[in-house]
Structure 1
C-alpha cells in the first residue's frame, strides 16, 4: 500500500471509529439533562469550578492522584462554557474518542493492517467500562489516553528518529503522570527499552527520559507540600500497600496470587473480541492436523476448567464497583434484587469464555516473550516494542497487586498494554495468514464490532436512565419529606459532597457515607424497610434495574 492509500485508509478508519463512538452515545445522551456527578467526579468538578469561578487552585482532598493533568484538561472547558458536570463530561467523552484513535495508531505501529487495527480499536471503544468512564470527569480515561498517545509516539520515534515524535511522547507521558503517579511506568519503560538498544544516542535519550520522569515523580509532590496543597487522601494507596506488606509473608503471596488471577480474567475478557478478530486472519487449513487436534483438545479442557470455576465462587464479575450483578452501575444504592436465572447463567457463560480467552492471551504472549529472551532480541531495534510494552504493563500491575481493595475500573489502564502485547505476539508468530481478509472475514469482523457496540450502548443507556430518575427524585425529596438532604441515603456521589470534609480519610465502619439515615433510595429491589414510594426507570436490558424505591427506616 503506497503512502496515499495508507493516508486514505487512516482517514477512513478515523471516520468509522468516530461514527461508532457517536452512535454508541446517542441513546444515553449523557451531555443533556445529566448535570449530576458520576462516581468520584463530584470532587473533581468542584476543583474546576473553584479555579474558573473563584480563581482558586485546589487539589481536591478526596483524590489520591496527582490530578493536575485532569484539571488542566477540564479548566478550558469550564472557561469557554461552564464548569458543570455535563460540560466536563463532554471533555471526558472527547478524551475517550482520542484514546480510541490513539489505540488505532498504536496497533498500526505495532504491525497490524489498517482494517484489523481499526477493528481492534473499535472493540476497545465498545468496552463497556471504557465507554461509561468516558462519560465522567474521572482520571481513568484521560490517563489511559495520554498513556496510549505517549507509547504510540515513542514507537514512531524509534522507527522514524523524528525529534517531533520524541517531544510528543514526552509531553503525553508527562501529562499522564500529572494525572496519576503510575504514569512513571511510561518513563521507566521508555528508558529501559531505549538503554538496551544499540547506539550512544539511544542511551542518551534513555537517561534523559528517566531523569525527566524522576523530576516529575519527586518534584511535583514536593511542590504541592510546599504550597500546602497536598490532598488529604494523597497517601491512601501507599497506606494500603504498607498494610498488605505488614501481613505474614504467606498471606501476602496468597493475596497477590488472588489479585493476579482476578485481574488476569478481566484482562482476558477485554481481549476476547480482538482474539476472535486475530484468529479469523489465520489460515487454519495450513496447520497440521496434529497441531489442530492438540489445540482443540487443550481449548476444550480449558472450557471445562472455566465451567468448574464459574460453577464455584469464581463466577464473573470478580471485582466490584462499575460492573456488578445488575449490569453496569456503581454500588451506590442499598438493595439488590435476586439475580435472575438469565443473568446468573449469562455470567457463567461469560466466565467460561473469559477463562478460554485468558488462556489464549497467555498462549500467544508468553512464548513470544520467551523467544525474545532466548534470542536476546531485546538488543536489536525490533526488541524495543515488546520490552517497552512488557515493562509498561508490569509496572502498572505491580502496585495494584498490593492494594487491599481493587475495583474493576483499575483494570482499564492495564488493558491497552495487554492488547498491544497481544498484537505484537500475534504478528511475531509463525502462522500462515490468509492472503486477503475476504468478504466473509470483513462481515464477521463488522458483526462482532456491531454486536459489542450495541451491547455497550444499551448498558450506557440504562445506566444514565436510572441515574436521571434518581437525581430528579433526589432534587425534590428533601422538601417533600421535610428533612435535610443528608438524611436521605441517595447514593455515594449524593452524600459525598454533603458529608465529606477535607482531612477526613477514614470511612464509617459500614463504608464511605454509609451512616444510618431515616430514608434511603434502593435500586433493583426494596430494602427490609417500609416502602413509601417507587419510580419506574425506562431501561432496555432485561436484567437492568427498572424501578427505584424510597424506603423509610423502622427506627
Structure 2
C-alpha cells in the first residue's frame, strides 16, 4: 500500500466514524422519550421473546405472519443481561442496523466503489426514512436486511473463487431463511451464477443448506409448533390471488409502478446528481429518451391509479412515520409533514430520479448484476402477496443505491446535501412517532387508574394487540374453524368502555376524561391523545 493510499484509507475511516456518530446522534434525538412501549404490532414478536425467556418454549404469536425464529432468538439474546424489556429489543434492532450498514459498505467495496462513495452509500441507507424508523422498532425488517446483505456479500466474495466465503453465504442464508422464509433468494441467485460459470459443486454448497433449512422449518412450523392464524391467513389469501391471473398481472404491474415511485423518492439525492450529469454530458440517445418517457409514464400511471406514495401505507404516510393505527387517526397532528407542497416536491423528485436514471444518468457497476437479481428475487413474493406495504421495499433500497451510486461521483456535495435532508426528515418523523406512541400508552395507563381495565380500553393496534390479541385469537381458534377467522375478528370480542383517540370530539355516549399532550417537531402546537369513557362500574369517572 502506497503512502497516498494509506492516507486515503485513514481519511475514509475518520469520515466513516463521523457519519456513524451523526447517525447515532440523529437516532438519539429521535428517541428522547425512552419509553418502553410497543410500536405498531412489534408486540407480536416481543411476546414470543417474553415467552421464551419465561418458559423456555419457543411459541410464535398467532397474530404474526412469518415464523421468525432467529429474530426471536436475537431479541432474547439482548434481554439476557437485565431481563425482558422492549428497550432491550430495540437495542437488538439497532445492533442489527449497524451490522447492516457495515455489510452494505463492504458490499459496495466488493462492487469496486471508492471509500468516499462507499461512505455516501452507507449514509444514504442509514438516513433513509424506512431504514431509520424501522431501526427504532422490533420488526423483523432490519435484522432480515442485515442477514440478506451479509449473504449477498459472502456470495459476491465467493464468486471470485474462495469456497470458504460460499460456506459463509450458506450459513447467512440459513439464518435469513429462519427469520423470513424469502431469505433463500441470495442463495438461489448465487447458485444460478455459479451454475452458469460451470461451478456446480460450489452452487450446491450455497443453495442446499438454506433449502434444507426451509424444508425443516416448514415441517417444524406445521407439525410441531402448529400454524399460526396470521401465517395461515396470509398464505391462504395470497394463494387465492393466483386464481385470477389477469387481475394478478394488473395488480403486480401497479405494485411495481408504486415501488418504482417510492424508490425514486427514497434515493432522490442520487437522482438529482444523475439529472445534473445529463445536462453536463452528451445528449442521451433516442432510445434512452424513450425509456425515460416510459419511466415518467409509469410513475404518472401509478399516481393515477392511486397506488403511488403515500397510499401504500404502513411506515410512510401523510400523518408521519410509523404505523398510525389509532382511533381518530385523521385528527393526528401532522403539521408541515402533511402539507401538499412537501408531497408534490417529493413526487417531482421521484419522477426526476426515475427519468434521469432511465435516460442513462446513473451507471451501475457490472458486478452489481448478482446483487440486483438477488434483491428483485427477494422482493418478488411481495408482488404476489395479498398485502403490500412500503416496508417490503426495504431490501430494494440498498440495491437502488448500489446501482445509482456512480451518479454522485462528480457531485458528491449535492448527494451529501440530499442525504442530510433525508436524515433530518427521518429524525423528525421518528421523533413524532415515538412521542405520540408514548402519549398513547400514558393515556391508557391513566384510564386504568380511573378504573377501566386494560382489555376494556380501545386504543388501536399497539394497545389492543398487546392486551387482547393472543387471548382472543386463542378463544376464536377454540370455537371456530381456522378458515372462518379474519385478521381482526379478535377485536370484535372486545367490549370497550373507554377509548384512546386523536379525535378531540367525544364519540356519542362518552365524555372526555383527559387529554395527554405530547411534543412533536411537525407542528409548534404539539399533539394530544384524548381519553373518552363510560362510567366504570361502581364509580363515576
Any conservation in 1 of the 2:38–2:462 contact (CA below 8 Å)? yes
Alignment partner, residue 399 of structure 2: 417
Cα offset, 1:68, TM superposition: 1.2
Unaligned runs of 5+ in 1: 369-381, 428-432
1:210 aligns with 2:212: no
Q: Distance in 2 between matches of 1:124 and 1:510?
A: 34
Alignment partner, residue 513 of structure 1: 491
Alignment partner, residue 254 of structure 1: 250
Would the alpha carbon gap of residues 48 and 495 (structure 1) be closer, same or farther in structure 2, given more than 3 Å must change?
same
Alignment partner, residue 315 of structure 2: 322
Q: Distance in 1 between matches of 2:201 and 2:305?
A: 53
1:408 aligns with 2:390: yes
Any conservation in 2 of the 1:173–1:183 contact (CA below 8 Å)? yes
Q: Distance in 2 between matches of 1:128 and 1:95?
A: 16
Cα offset, 1:6, TM superposition: 6.0
Q: Secondary structure at the match of 1:26?
A: helix
Q: Secondary structure at the match of 2:178?
A: helix
Alignment partner, residue 539 of structure 1: 520
Q: Can you list the C-alpha shifts for 1:337-363, whole angstroms capped at 9, x where unaligned?
A: 398796123222212322332334445
Any conservation in 1 of the 2:260–2:299 contact (CA below 8 Å)? no
Q: Secondary structure at the match of 1:93?
A: helix
Alignment partner, residue 352 of structure 2: 356
Alignment partner, residue 191 of structure 1: 191
Any conservation in 2 of the 1:462–1:541 contact (CA below 8 Å)? yes
Alignment of 1:393-404 (within 5 A): 393-404=375-386
Q: Distance in 1 between matches of 2:401 and 2:502?
A: 35
1:461 aligns with 2:434: no
Any conservation in 2 of the 1:189–1:391 contact (CA below 8 Å)? yes
Alignment partner, residue 71 of structure 1: 72
Q: Distance in 2 between matches of 1:546 and 1:316?
A: 24
Q: Distance in 2 between matches of 1:24 and 1:409?
A: 21
1:106 aligns with 2:85: no
Any conservation in 2 of the 1:521–1:549 contact (CA below 8 Å)? yes
Alignment partner, residue 239 of structure 2: 242
Alignment of 1:54-93 (within 5 A): 54-93=55-94
Q: Secondary structure at the match of 1:60?
A: coil
Any conservation in 1 of the 2:315–2:391 contact (CA below 8 Å)? yes
1:43 aligns with 2:44: yes
Q: Distance in 2 between matches of 1:292 and 1:366?
A: 14
Cα offset, 1:311, TM superposition: 7.8
Q: Can you list the C-alpha shifts for 1:292-342, whole angstroms capped at 9, x where unaligned?
A: 999899979977986797588456202011212211131320211398796
Q: Distance in 2 between matches of 1:527 and 1:488?
A: 15
Cα offset, 1:407, TM superposition: 1.3
Q: Distance in 2 between matches of 1:244 and 1:96?
A: 34
Q: Can you list the C-alpha shifts for 1:219-252, whole angstroms capped at 9, x where unaligned?
A: 22213444335434333332122110123x3222
Would the alpha carbon gap of residues 511 and 454 (structure 1) be closer, same or farther in structure 2, given more than 3 Å must change?
farther
Any conservation in 2 of the 1:306–1:353 contact (CA below 8 Å)? no
Q: Secondary structure at the match of 1:513?
A: helix
1:18 aligns with 2:24: no
Q: Distance in 1 between matches of 2:110 and 2:431?
A: 34
Any conservation in 1 of the 2:195–2:203 contact (CA below 8 Å)? yes
Q: Secondary structure at the match of 1:550?
A: strand
Q: Distance in 2 between matches of 1:129 and 1:388?
A: 24
Any conservation in 2 of the 1:393–1:418 contact (CA below 8 Å)? no
Would the alpha carbon gap of residues 527 and 111 (structure 1) be closer, same or farther in structure 2, given more than 3 Å must change?
farther
Cα offset, 1:139, TM superposition: 0.7
Q: Secondary structure at the match of 2:182?
A: helix
Unaligned runs of 5+ in 2: 536-541
Alignment partner, residue 373 of structure 1: none
Alignment partner, residue 175 of structure 2: 175
2:342 equivalent among 343, 346, 365 = 346
Q: Distance in 1 between matches of 2:361 and 2:210?
A: 28
1:266 aligns with 2:256: no
Would the alpha carbon gap of residues 407 and 6 (structure 1) be closer, same or farther in structure 2, given more than 3 Å must change?
same
Would the alpha carbon gap of residues 404 and 155 (structure 1) be closer, same or farther in structure 2, given more than 3 Å must change?
same
Would the alpha carbon gap of residues 422 and 237 (structure 1) be closer, same or farther in structure 2, given more than 3 Å must change?
farther
Q: Distance in 2 between matches of 1:130 and 1:231?
A: 28
Q: Distance in 2 between matches of 1:148 and 1:263?
A: 20
The RMSD of aligned alpha carbons is 3.5
Would the alpha carbon gap of residues 22 and 50 (structure 1) be closer, same or farther in structure 2, given more than 3 Å must change?
same
Cα offset, 1:365, TM superposition: 10
Any conservation in 2 of the 1:487–1:518 contact (CA below 8 Å)? yes
Q: Secondary structure at the match of 1:80?
A: coil
Would the alpha carbon gap of residues 166 and 211 (structure 1) be closer, same or farther in structure 2, given more than 3 Å must change?
closer
Q: Distance in 1 between matches of 2:362 and 2:14?
A: 34
Q: Distance in 1 between matches of 2:362 and 2:419?
A: 27
TM-score for both structures, normalised by structure 1: 0.83
Would the alpha carbon gap of residues 293 and 97 (structure 1) be closer, same or farther in structure 2, given more than 3 Å must change?
same
Q: Can you list the C-alpha shifts for 1:146-171, whole angstroms capped at 9, x where unaligned?
A: 10111122212333x33443333222
1:549 aligns with 2:530: yes
Alignment of 1:420-499 (within 5 A): 420-423=402-405, 426=406, 441-480=411-450, 482-499=451-468
Q: Secondary structure at the match of 1:317?
A: coil
